[in-house]
Amino acid sequence: MGGYYEWNTKLGEWTVGLWFWNNADRAVRYTWQEYFVWYKPKILKYFNPMFSFYVSGSSDNGGSSSNPLGITNGQKIYILGFKSYLF
């Protein structure tokens, strides 16, 4: 489940939002959420650049030595992507 909002400005297109997932199994109780910002500048339209930023978090009631509690809390991801169409 999640949601997002998009808008266009003189500087480019912006998208902000979040999505999350909750496990309904009471024995596991795992939740995961991610917040994101996407930005497409109006320059270099042929290459269609997009900058993305994500922050992830999770929690559970278990954990192990290989996967401790909240291992992804505050994990940040930065992406620069390009997209173009040949035909």
Distances (CA, A) of 81 to 3, 8, 72: 22, 19, 23
Q: What's the confidence (pLDDT) of residue 46?
A: 77
Q: What CA–CA distance (Å, rounded) separates 11 from 78?
A: 20
Q: What angle do CA 51, 41, 46 make, to 5 degrees?
A: 100
pTM, to two decimals: 0.70
Q: What is the pLDDT along the chain (87 residues), one digit of tens a residue?
A: 788 999 999 999 999 999 888 777 666 667 778 899 999 998 877 788 999 999 887 766 555 555 555 555 677 889 999 887 776
Residue 13, helix vs strand vs coil: strand
In this predicted model, what pLDDT tens digit does every residue of 2-17 receive, in sequence order? 889 999 999 999 999 9
Contacts of 29 (CB under 8 A, 6+ apart): 23, 60, 61
